[in-house]
Amino acid sequence: MAVPITLEFSGGAELLFANQKKHSIELPGSQKWDVKSLLPWIRDNLLQERPELFMQGDTVRPGILVLVNDADWELMGELEYEIQPNDKIVFISTLHGG
Amino acid sequence: MCSVQEEAIPQQLNQLTGKLQCVKCRRDVPVVVTRVNDAFCQDCFLVYAVHKFRSAIGKSKVIVPKEHVLVAYSGGPASSALLHFLQEGKKEGKLRFTVTVVHIDELALVSVSDKERQEKVQEVVEIVQQRGFPLLLTSLECAMDMVKPEAGESSQAPEMCKEVTSEKEVDALANPDKGDKLKKLLDSLPSISAKEEFIRVLRNQVLLGVARERGFTKVVVGDTATALSVRIMTDMAKGKGSQVSFDTTIGDKRYGDVMVVRPIRDLNMKEVEAYNRLQNVESISIPHIADQWHKSNSIEQLTAHFIHGLQENFPSTVPNIVRTSDKLGHQDIESLPEKCSLCESPLDTDVGEASALRAVEVCERLLQKDGASRSQSQAAQSSDCTQHDRVAADNMKASLCYGCRLTVKGLRDVSLLPTHVVQKSQSRCLSRDEMRAQISEFLLDDENGDTPNS
């Protein structure tokens, strides 16, 4: 059973995803998805360029803020958070300054 | 690089995960984690962010009531949040000063079409008008030709900026000639670190220029704590250590007539982004020249990467760096009349004989001598030209602070620098010569050997 979720990239992170901010996707397969397995999936399926600006090791690059359903992912268990259908996950890059 | 990321770091996560209460009101579900382990709910976080902004202005007393200030707006998240804070303050009637916004169009450096450039400027105009503040537009290349108007002839000087009154009237202050000049100058700077530093200095010059032209005495900028901590470490690495305390205070008085104010220096980038998200504050992603350089790293980019990496696991990194620089004092500005012709910071090069700066200079001279003897034959061919250039270069160097010397080091032709910088260095040199001529009869002859020979 596929899991439908919404991904959003902003603060400059969208530049790595062909300048598209919102992505509605379906995670394939019947296994359970968590953020830890979502990140490499994004890298392999959505990311257009420069993976090193998005991921570092098995987590996001320092300076990218992650929100799960508008709450800081630190409150949700970070990589261990188990993705539910219709979740909204937002990646905001804070590296651009301003 | 320090291997911060690889080290085993004690996990603090477990304390946070599943926290159901805001630390402040102990009632609502938290959405943002800030500082070390403080989880705030939406309402409490917004109160906290606004409070930080307002108390920074209130406590420091740098802006007096009824003053008219210039606010620098780039379109990025930090200055977008700054505008939102100001707008909210105005709505509640708590803003005790009036605001004019200035936007510097920097797209001359990036290869975009005129249409695209226009569209980006249009976006900026829309946001600022939405916030209800008057807007001035200017462009980065203006800094290439900023001749200070002499008293009385100010009307002849071309205006640096212009007001935007209606949405249709937007055509950017693009100036292809100056833009090309600027590009040529940047191309001739040898390193990316130097280019970045130079752009930063120019941007600052444009802000000061606009403020002076329009008679503002305060320029408000959206420097966050994160940006400042990167700035501090980068400055140290680039030989601008003497300017660190100016770069980070809430009221930067180094320019004398114009003060730079940093009201969101207590907020870090994460807090700014969270604020923008919760308040639906729009920001514009404007293509930046640094994006084109991403493959080769600059001092600033590496420093930023390092600090972001540390901050991830040690959330007190940024406040620690900023607080430490707060404790640094600086010399009284009035006692240092001479300023760098490029960045307008007090000159830090008037130091004793037994100093690191002199040692560096001696080493450079020795290296040059060595190189010169080898390429003597080549030099002889174009000696007239190089002689003249060298004098100009030496004069220029003498009028720059140590950090700016490093920035323009490797620049072959100093006449490429902005006109006002060249003029300043020349007039400085002239006034020195005049002074020397005036007092020449009282001077002891150098030939007597009373100057130590290095």
Are B207 and B82 contained in the same domain? yes
pLDDT at residue number B151: 43
Residue A39 Cα, gap to closest chain B Cα (Å): 18
- In a domain, residue B376? The reply is no
ipTM given for this complex: 0.84
Q: Which of A59, A62, A23 is nearest to A40 (CA)?
A: A59
Partner-chain contact A72 B32, CB within 8 Å: yes
User: How many domains does chain B contain in total?
Assistant: 2
- In a domain, residue B148? The reply is yes
- Position with higher pLDDT, A40 vs B443: A40
pLDDT 10s per residue in chain B (454 long)? 444 444 444 444 456 666 678 888 888 888 888 877 788 888 999 999 999 999 998 888 888 888 999 999 988 889 999 999 999 998 888 888 899 999 988 887 777 777 888 888 888 888 998 898 999 888 888 888 776 544 444 444 566 777 776 555 555 556 777 888 888 888 888 888 888 888 889 899 889 988 988 889 999 999 999 999 999 999 989 888 888 888 888 888 888 889 999 999 999 888 999 999 889 888 887 777 666 666 567 888 888 888 988 888 888 899 999 888 888 876 666 666 688 888 888 887 777 777 788 888 888 888 877 665 555 545 444 455 566 677 777 788 888 888 888 888 877 777 788 888 888 887 877 777 777 777 777 766 655 545 444 4
Report d(CA B72, CA B89) in Å as an integer: 17
H helix or E strand, kind and range, residue A43: helix A35-45
Q: Which of A84, A72, A94, A78 is nearest to A32 (CA)?
A: A84
- Candidates B33, B272, B309; nearest CB to A75: B33
Structural domain boundaries enclosing B142 = 44-329
**Partner A, chain B 250-269, Cβ-Cβ below 8 Å:** 269
Say how many C-beta atoms besides its own lie within 10 A of residue B389's C-beta.
Answer: 15
**Beta-carbon pairs below 8 A across chains A and B:** 92
pLDDT at residue number B49: 92
Report d(CA B47, CA B49) in Å as an integer: 6
Are B103 and B250 contained in the same domain? yes
Partner-chain contact A72 B39, CB within 8 Å: yes
- In a domain, residue B4? The reply is no
Are B416 and B321 contained in the same domain? no
- In a domain, residue B213? The reply is yes
pLDDT at residue number A97: 45
Are B309 and B175 contained in the same domain? yes
- In a domain, residue B34? The reply is no
- In a domain, residue B180? The reply is yes
Are B298 and B247 contained in the same domain? yes
* SS3 state at A98: coil
Are B228 and B359 contained in the same domain? no
- Candidates A15, A62, A75; nearest CB to B16: A75
Q: Per-residue pLDDT tens for A3-31?
A: 889 999 988 888 888 888 899 988 888 78
Are B177 and B260 contained in the same domain? yes
Q: Identify the contact set of chain A against chain B, taking CB-CB distances under 8 A.
A: 11-12, 14-15, 50, 53, 56-57, 61-63, 65, 67, 70-72, 74-78, 80, 90, 92, 94-98
Q: Which of B273, B295, B302, B305 to mutate to test the interface with A (most CBs of A within 10 A)?
A: B273
Residue B32 Cα, gap to closest chain A Cα (Å): 5
- Candidates B277, B285, B309; nearest CB to A62: B309
Are B260 and B118 contained in the same domain? yes
Report d(CA B259, CA B280) in Å as an integer: 31
Are B307 and B357 contained in the same domain? no
For residue B289, the domain's CATH number is 3.40.50.620
Are B316 and B355 contained in the same domain? no
- In a domain, residue B375? The reply is no
Distance of CA B325 to the CA centre of its chain: 16
Domains and CATH numbers, chain A: 3-93 (3.10.20.30)
Q: What tokens appear for B62 in the block?
A: 């740098």
Chain A residues with CB under 8 Å of B13 CB are: 74, 77-78
Partner-chain contact B222 A98, CB within 8 Å: yes
Are B215 and B362 contained in the same domain? no
Report d(CA B393, CA B421) in Å as an integer: 12
pLDDT at residue number B445: 60
Residue of A nearest to B22 (CA): A75
- In a domain, residue B188? The reply is yes
Residue A54 Cα, gap to closest chain B Cα (Å): 13
Are B167 and B263 contained in the same domain? yes
Partner-chain contact B269 A67, CB within 8 Å: no
